[in-house]
Amino acid sequence: MGEVGEITVVKVGTEVNGEPLTIETDYIAKQASGAVIVRQGETAVLVAAVVSEEPQADIDFFPLTVEYREKTYAYGKIPGGFVKREGKPSVREILVSRLIDRPIRPMFPKGFFNDVVITAMTLSADDKYDPDVLAIVGASAALHLSEAPFEGPIAGVRVARVNGQFIANPTYQQRNESDIDIVVAGSKDAIVMVEGGSEEVSEEVILDAIMFAHDEIKKLIDIQEELREKAGGKEKIVVETDEVDLQLQQQLEQLVKDKVREALNILDKKERRKKLSEIFEEAVSQIEVPEGKEKKIETIYKDIVSSVMREKVLKEKVRIDGRKPDEIRPIWIRTGLFPRIHGSAIFTRGQTQAFVATTLGAPGEEQIEESIEEGEEKKRFMLHYNFPPFSVGEARPPRAPSRREIGHGNLAERAIEPLIPPEEEFPYVIRVVSEILESNGSTSMATVCGASLSLFDAGVPMKKHVAGIAMGLLKEEDEYVILTDILGDEDHLGDMDFKVAGTRDGVTSIQMDIKIKGLTKEILQEALEQAKKARLYILDLMYEAMPQPRPELSPHAPKIITMRVLPEKIPVIIGPSGKNIKKIIEETGVKVDLQPDGLVRIYAVDGESGEKARQMIEELIMDIELGEVYMGKVTRVEDYGAFVELLPGKLSLLHVSQISPERVRSAKDKIKVGDVLTVKVIDIDEQGRAKVSLKEVKEGDKPKNKFLFE
């Protein structure tokens, strides 16, 4: 490495998966509040954190922004397409941005409203280590060095399991061999986030994987503490208690607390929220709200509602819709709703409803994606999630998919994907779309259930149903309650959103976000056990509605015909300059996929066109047989006879004596070039050359190769 001049590098490190993982700072992006480079192998990620000098005025949320970008130069590529530079974030970049955001967000104190922007960029990417978990570590380290009142550090690691052994930060190859692929983030004392999937592994294995990750996380936290000590981190911003806010809270509590407690007994979501809104408006009219505190008093009121709701559940063990903590809302299922859709289902749980449609397509319709992880990849199974505003009664038009929608779709896709049959067994491209029609908690898990039912309805040969459930948590010091099938309000006002999806035999997808400082092993174990019980209950209902995939595909689904031919027949099917394959496609409208090993797949919009294409291919590759009748085109005529092409490249001789029962002096008197004749093979010599006859053809004889000439 060439260097000019002197720099100071502060560097710390540890070992993960037998490879050094290092964090370095003090020489890059010095105008940021904190900046680091995290390396493992030849993968390196730059993460910079910037904290605004002043807080935003009159807001009720923490303004954290995380942007992760994969630069193509990092893996030696030039961007594809017409514009040779990186553009809007890809789906993967959005998902990784969310992966960084989620464990960091709960680690800031309440009342901190300064803008915090985290920017992560891959500077180098090898073929071993994924930069996403390095970016989580980098974001924490950059914040730890900065003036932000970050209550970390935290760290993230990926866990795989190969041959029964857990591996932290596995290589791409190890991930391909693994039955688990989860990312776990945590503080020194507790877990704060879990995200990933598995191939129907047990809850016990998932818990062991999380705990294994936590041990590795502690090592990464230790080196961040060492980094701050060596580099001399900035003095932290102190978030001071606003006395005016305290006075407003006391006034508001006196006016609304009893009324809020009563309103939380209203079971219907819209009616409950309407009543809570009326209580707030009435109370505000009785309080003199200082200028600039209009938004703040709304936040204070939400906190009061949250406190009352939490108290009610923790003490009475009764939820705001009247359910017990482990009770699931009523479920309603319907499949096969619309005849033109290849597969469809509506899954309704309480006031949450997902309409899910499955569409089957031919190869060539795959989603092509490019990323550091896989390079250019064809994606055969896609699940897209849409959340239209009407699902929550909002009077606004739909927009492009949000980060939340992309994240929810990815979670549901990951849950279903392990059960999608391999291409060799079911050679279709599969797209599932979930339209949320009504939302009151856990729409992503309703999507998982609806997607499984929709795929069964489409006739996709899945061996098992997949179901999902969202769990919640309310925790005050040592007292806690785990909630099954959480409502939207329980999600917003509670401490945990824990989603688990899987089959009767194990977990396929898991996602956990914590709003408190972390979660212990005991609570995690109890939540997983409660989630399994709920999942099995839902699966029983799904099997009752649709016990197995439909035996036949929709008549409107494309038809796929698979053939095996000798590899040397592939050039025959293609023909000179593609003549034969073009003819098949033009005349039938099908798509044909030819593989060098002799695999032929025909994709047709209906059975008739597919069957015609199959027949044409069979005729192209058939051998001429003695005694059979064929159609053929005359290519040359002499006095002694005509040469007739029965199959591509297969000429036969029609002797003048075989043209008619009557004597014919010259073949030219009866036949001309271009004529299409129906003839019978009367002889094949030792060299495979055929002799044919017109006069031997009887009425009613059907040519074996008629499709080639229709």
> Which residues lie closer than 8 Å to 478 by C-beta, 6 or more apart?
none
Give Cα separations from 213 to 130, 472, 630 (angstroms).
16, 22, 70
Q: What mean pLDDT is predicted for residues 389-403?
A: 87
The reported pLDDT for the residue numbered 517 is: 67
Q: Are residues 430 and 478 in the same domain?
A: yes
Number of domains in the chain: 5
CA angle in degrees (0–180, nearest 5) for 103-108-113: 125
Q: What mean pLDDT is predicted for residues 74-87?
A: 76
Output 289 or 303, whichever has higher pLDDT. 303
The reported pLDDT for the residue numbered 84 is: 72
> 540: domain CATH number?
3.30.230.70
**12 vs 638: CA distance, rounded Å:** 90
Split at pLDDT 50, 70, 90, the class of 693 is very high
Residue with tokens 């359910």: 323
Extract the tokens encoding 545. Answer: 């509605």
Split at pLDDT 50, 70, 90, the class of 610 is confident
Distance, first Cα to last Cα, the chain: 70
Identify the domain containing residue 667 by its residue range: 629-709
Q: Are residues 474 and 593 in the same domain?
A: no
Q: Give percent of the chain with pLDDT exceeding 70.
A: 97
Split at pLDDT 50, 70, 90, the class of 29 is very high
> Which residues lie closer than 8 Å to 514 by C-beta, 6 or more apart?
106, 190, 191, 192, 193, 495, 496
Split at pLDDT 50, 70, 90, the class of 445 is very high
Strands (E) in 17-84, as ranges, are 19-25, 34-40, 43-55, 64-70
Encode pLDDT of 138-161 as tens digits.
999 999 999 999 998 999 999 999
> Which residues lie closer than 8 Å to 677 by C-beta, 6 or more apart?
631, 632, 633, 634, 644, 654, 671, 694
Residue 364 predicted with pLDDT over 80: no
Q: What mean pLDDT is predicted for residues 50-55?
A: 93
Q: What mean pLDDT is predicted for residues 651-662?
A: 92
Q: What mean pLDDT is predicted for residues 438-457?
A: 95
Q: Are residues 226 and 266 in the same domain?
A: no
Extract the tokens encoding 358. Answer: 């499955």
Q: Are residues 89 and 206 in the same domain?
A: yes
Strands (E) in 372-442, as ranges, are 375-379, 381-386, 429-438
Output 560 or 357, whichever has higher pLDDT. 357
> 268: domain CATH number?
1.10.10
Answer whether residue 295 is part of any domain: yes
The reported pLDDT for the residue numbered 165 is: 96
622: number of Cβ within 10 Å: 16
Split at pLDDT 50, 70, 90, the class of 519 is confident
Answer whether residue 81 is part of any domain: yes
Answer whether residue 442 is part of any domain: yes
Output 174 or 75, whichever has higher pLDDT. 174
The reported pLDDT for the residue numbered 374 is: 59
Q: Are residues 207 and 261 in the same domain?
A: no
Q: Are residues 347 and 309 in the same domain?
A: no
> 690: domain CATH number?
2.40.50.140
The reported pLDDT for the residue numbered 371 is: 63
Q: Which residue among 256, 281, 316 closes a domain? A: 316
Across the strands, what pairs with 68? 120
| Cα dihedral 54, 56, 61, 62 in deg (nearest 10) | -30
Q: pTM of the predicted model, to two decimals?
A: 0.84
Residue 475 predicted with pLDDT over 80: yes
Answer whether residue 135 is part of any domain: yes
662-686 as b/e: b if 16+ CB within 10 A = eebeebbebbeeeeebbbbbbebee
Q: Are residues 421 and 348 in the same domain?
A: yes
Q: Are residues 483 and 514 in the same domain?
A: yes
Q: What mean pLDDT is predicted for residues 471-490?
A: 88
Q: Which residue among 545, 572, 592 closes a domain? A: 545
User: Does residue 63 have a cis peptide bond before it, meaning omega lies within 30 degrees of 0?
Assistant: no
Q: Which residue among 595, 621, 647 closes a domain? A: 621
Q: Are residues 566 and 694 in the same domain?
A: no
Q: Are residues 160 and 258 in the same domain?
A: no
> 584: domain CATH number?
3.30.1370.10
**634 vs 19: CA distance, rounded Å:** 72
Split at pLDDT 50, 70, 90, the class of 437 is very high
> Which of 338, 406, 702, 318 has the alpha carbon at shortest distance from 556?
338
Q: Give me the phi and psi of 569, to 5 degrees please.
A: -85, -15
Q: Are residues 138 and 34 in the same domain?
A: yes
Answer whether residue 554 is part of any domain: no
Answer whether residue 691 is part of any domain: yes
| Cα dihedral 513, 519, 521, 522 in deg (nearest 10) | -110
Answer whether residue 15 is part of any domain: yes
Answer yes or no: are the C-beta atoms of 155 and 47 closer than 8 Å.
no
Answer whether residue 550 is part of any domain: no
Radius of gyration over alpha carbons of the chain, in Å? 34
Q: Are residues 54 and 92 in the same domain?
A: yes
The reported pLDDT for the residue numbered 641 is: 93
Split at pLDDT 50, 70, 90, the class of 518 is low
